[in-house]
Amino acid sequence: MSRNYCETLPRNFKIYVVPAPSKKGQTDHAMLWAQGLSQALGAELLPCLRKTGQYAQRGADRGTRALIEMELIENNTDTVDFESQILWIFADDIVTTGATARSAHIALGRPANFQIWALAQRSLSCGASKDLL
């Protein structure tokens, strides 16, 4: 099923696309997805987050994934703006439990206009996945 989400974006909003941070600061699928989104939407790409914990997601259960924490990268904190006329789009390649997106939302100061755009959704192998948002 395909759907044009661009038609449902709020008008007159500034749009920031924030990619999920990679493990080693390299360009990964989430960053490529975020770059494509920002170009297609005419939005600003803002890679302003980094993970602070050492929790591995691969093979982790929901409880371990919930421990994921992020913070703003110091060099980007002056560009983060919390106006109500800003739409924050968190771009990730795969959403499993929503823990990464939840952590990003918290690190960004819990902006009211926050959306998650992902390429795919996958459940945990045990089938017990629940969204945390």
pLDDT at residue 120, rounded to an integer: 85
Q: Which domain holds residue 14?
A: 10-121
- Is residue 66 classed as helix, strand or coil in its secondary structure? coil
Per-residue pLDDT at 34: 95
Domain count, the chain: 1
- What is the pLDDT, as a whole number, of residue 26? 78
Let me know if residue 131 belongs to a domain. no
98's tokens: 């929503």
Whole-number Å distance between alpha carbons of 115 and 18: 10
Could you tell me if 97 and 131 are in contact, meaning their C-beta atoms sit under 8 angstroms apart? yes
- Contact (CB, 8 A) for 31 and 19: yes
pLDDT at 35: 95
pTM of this structure? 0.74
Q: What is the CATH number of the domain that holds 108?
A: 3.40.50
Residue with the two structure tokens 């560009």: 79
**pLDDT at 19 (0 to 100):** 95
Mean pLDDT by 10 residues, the chain (133 residues): 59 90 81 94 92 64 61 65 81 87 91 91 56 43
Residue 38 maps to a domain: yes
CB 46 within 8 A of CB 75: no
pLDDT of residue 27: 82
Is residue 2 in some structural domain?
no
Asked if residue 130 is part of any domain, the answer here is no
In the chain, alpha helices (H): 29-41, 62-65, 99-107
What does the pLDDT read at residue 96? Answer: 81
Of 74, 68, 39, residue with least CA distance to 52: 68
Which pLDDT belongs to residue 2?
47
